[in-house]
Amino acid sequence: MAELKNLFNPIKIGEMELKNRLVMLPVTTGYGEDDETVGDRFVDYFTERAKGGVGLIIVPFTPTYVGCPIQPGLYDDRFIPGARRLTDAVHAYGSKIAPQLITQYHLICEEGGSPEVVGPSPVPNRIMRCTPRVLSIEEIHRLIEEYGKAAVRARQADFDAIELIVAGGYLLNRFLSPSTNKRTDEYGGSLENRMRIILEIVERIKQTAGEDYPIICRLNVQENMEGGYTIEDEDPKEAVRMLEAAGVKAINVYTGWHESPVPTIHQSLPRGAFVYLAERIKGMAGIPVIAANRINDPVLADRIIGEGKADLVGMGRALIADPELPNKAKAGRVEEIVPCIACANCLAAILSGYRNWGEQTKPAISCTVNPGVGKEAEYVLEPAKKVKKVFVVGGGPAGMEAAITAASRGHQVTLYEKEEELGGRLFIASIPPYKDEMAALVKSLIVRTQKAGVQVELSASIEPGTIEEKKPEAVILATGGKPIIPDIPGSRGKNVVTAEEVLTGEKEVGETVIIAGGGMVGCETAEFLVKAGKNVIIVETLGRMANNVIATYRPFFLARLKGTGIKMETNTTVEEISDEGVRVSREGASEFIRGDSVVLALGYETTKQFAEDLACRVAELYSVGDCAEPRTAKEAIEEGFRVGLSI
């Protein structure tokens, strides 16, 4: 492993000294209490990240009353005690902490009023699907005062610095952007006027909280929006100069809006895709610059700093996935890090809350690869009260997670996998284009399985009778499911294969391929085949293609598929397969689609015979993952973890 020579050097932001160059970027969690205060769950979550060794933690807080507790508030003195609990807990592990003062889209502008979507101008807000009400100059002045008061409370709660967010398409970003700020008064028009509200907030914070209180600005330097600015324009560069002159002590580089047509956090992007933006800003700023977006690898982070492209590296979702990332990296245990796979499940949960503002159900993040997120006090690995002999049958994500967890608690665990390598369906999921992060997850699971002391038996099919003879005290079945073969004429013909058989190279297909099933597996298999030079048609019964793809990724995913020339047919059901193609039903009419091969991507079904055969042979029997019911990777990993925790 490459030596990390730069990442763990200290650095100062203003008067605040950090022990290393890793910054936990602000991610809204939804873990605040219903009254917008900081409670146990919130403290436990961030304490775990501080314990993991990160240098600075930035946490979203609202400086104004918005009427929905997606994140905690700092708009009243009643929030100070809870916030102080948080800072005390983080400081106990040597990390520094700053609130990000964030006004998103809503404000309550009068006492007793309701939340309103507001903005600098009546330009439609696509994320909220409405046109905002325009803020008056009096309301802008009141907002500036609220920021100043919130900063005072932050300092009273012993936060080490303040961050302002002028990014993501949130309110201050909409003032800065020429695409959404069409005002003709002193808060619109020229860059100086569009920056006015931001600079007045900076000045007010200095006046109220002190000249020595470090202010960081998370600044959007490339909007990726029609009519917005790019890094090639003078606006973001001059904005940095103005912020530095105003006394801001660091720039946290950001790109994109949540409604931008350009993805910024998804698997299809290479790691470090936007580091060049930080490098451009660092070249003209005299204050520290934080690089961000799609960085989940400490080796890459160390290289970014060593090559002078940024002074610090921000990681948000990477520290959700593995809060121990800094400590593992410092100790040379990089291969044991649980990688963020950039699935964006966490973001999708929170964005659903914006669109359903005011509903009783409050969104909260979870993580595909880390079942303990938001459950830090509940999911605690404690030594087993009685050490047991445990067999795990199946080496997919559920089986490996169960084995790791059980072995980490002291159980004697043997894992049996019938294939030549571990991974199961997760290995297959890593084969299509842009799925490198899934391969990284498989590697991490294998390494952690070995490090936990699990005895792994590969190419090892084990029968119920053999298990009974070996007398394990607990058996965890993680044997997966099998692809669904529909009960229609021709479904078992020579030209019919499953998506798994295609992806693994077990079966070959002809030049024109019809894929039955337009979910994630079918669409990713289609992209795999197009890159291999095939002509592909996807046939989907539902009215939406890629219906099970995460909402924050689906538009980018479908746009990419369309760009490859894949034909996508919705509301179309396969009724018969022949050597020449498929007969389908579309809106009550029958038609024939010609093709050389048919790929089945219709999901998985459970086989429970093994479990039934073992039911009376072992004292403790658990089924996890697809062999219990068809599961997502997230559900399989959490189920494996819970079972490993319970034995």
Is the confidence at residue 354, as pLDDT, over 80?
A: no
Is the confidence at residue 363, as pLDDT, over 90?
A: no
| CATH classification at residue 227 | 3.20.20.70
**Which residues have CB under 8 Å from 65's CB, separation 6+?**
73, 75, 107, 108
Our CA angle for 237, 241, 245, nearest 5°, is 170
Residues 264-268 have a mean pLDDT of: 89
Q: Are the beta carbons of 581 and 510 closer than 8 angstroms?
A: no
Share of the chain above pLDDT 70, in %: 97
Q: Same domain, yes or no, for 469 and 492?
A: no
Q: Which amino acid is at 382?
A: E
262 found inside a domain: yes
Is the confidence at residue 304, as pLDDT, over 60?
A: yes
**Quick one: pLDDT at residue 550?**
87
Q: Are the beta carbons of 20 and 319 closer than 8 angstroms?
A: no
373 found inside a domain: no
Helix (H, G, I), strand (E, B) or coil at 585: strand
Helix (H, G, I), strand (E, B) or coil at 118: strand
DSSP count for the chain of H helices, then E strands: 21, 28
**Quick one: pLDDT at residue 76?**
96
Q: Same domain, yes or no, for 274 and 137?
A: yes
110 versus 205: the higher-pLDDT residue is 205
Average pLDDT, the chain: 94
Q: How confident is the model at residue 588 (pLDDT cuts 50, 70, 90)?
A: confident
Is the confidence at residue 338, as pLDDT, over 60?
A: yes
**At 200, phi and psi to the nearest 5?**
-70, -35
Q: How confident is the model at residue 560 (pLDDT cuts 50, 70, 90)?
A: very high
**Quick one: pLDDT at residue 537?**
98
Is the confidence at residue 351, as pLDDT, over 80?
A: no
Is the confidence at residue 357, as pLDDT, over 60?
A: no
Is the confidence at residue 551, as pLDDT, over 90?
A: no
Tell which residue, 10, 233, 218, 23, has the closest CA to residue 103. 218
**Quick one: pLDDT at residue 353?**
58
363 found inside a domain: no
Q: Are the beta carbons of 227 and 178 closer than 8 angstroms?
A: yes
584 versus 128: the higher-pLDDT residue is 584
47 found inside a domain: yes
Single residue among 296, 331, 355 that ends a domain in this structure: 355
Q: Same domain, yes or no, for 17 and 151?
A: yes
DSSP H or E run through 368: none
Q: Same domain, yes or no, for 266 and 333?
A: yes
**Quick one: pLDDT at residue 552?**
83
Say if strands 535-539 and 512-516 run parallel, antiparallel, or are unpaired. parallel
Q: Same domain, yes or no, for 532 and 576?
A: yes
Half-sphere exposure of 179 (CA within 13 A, CB side): 19
202 versus 344: the higher-pLDDT residue is 202
**Which residues have CB under 8 Å from 560's CB, separation 6+?**
268, 527
176 found inside a domain: yes
What are 569's strand-pairing partners? 539
Q: What is the pLDDT of residues 589-642, one digit of tens each?
A: 999 999 999 999 999 999 888 888 888 889 899 999 999 888 899 999 999 999
**Quick one: pLDDT at residue 348?**
80
Q: Same domain, yes or no, for 176 and 251?
A: yes
Q: How confident is the model at residue 360 (pLDDT cuts 50, 70, 90)?
A: very low
**Quick one: pLDDT at residue 546?**
96
Q: Same domain, yes or no, for 411 and 516?
A: no
Residues 202-221 have a mean pLDDT of: 98
**Which residues have CB under 8 Å from 609's CB, separation 6+?**
none
Q: How many domains does the chain have?
A: 3
| CATH classification at residue 525 | 3.50.50.60
Residues 31-38 have a mean pLDDT of: 92
Is the confidence at residue 344, as pLDDT, over 90?
A: no
Residues 555-580 have a mean pLDDT of: 95
Q: Using CB atoms within 10 A of its CB, is residue 178 exposed (0-12), middle (13-18) or buried (19+)? A: middle
Single residue among 333, 355, 377 that ends a domain in this structure: 355
Q: Same domain, yes or no, for 469 and 555?
A: no
Q: Same domain, yes or no, for 560 and 474?
A: no
**Quick one: pLDDT at residue 349?**
77
What residues make up the domain containing 166? 11-355
Q: Same domain, yes or no, for 287 and 188?
A: yes
**Quick one: pLDDT at residue 5?**
95
369 found inside a domain: no
Residues 3-16 have a mean pLDDT of: 96
4 found inside a domain: no
Q: Same domain, yes or no, for 501 and 435?
A: no
**Quick one: pLDDT at residue 67?**
64
Residue 230: count of CB within 10 angstroms of its CB: 14
370 found inside a domain: no
Q: What is the pLDDT of residues 40-61, one digit of tens each?
A: 999 999 999 999 999 999 999 9
Q: Same domain, yes or no, for 461 and 578?
A: no
| CATH classification at residue 396 | 3.40.50.720
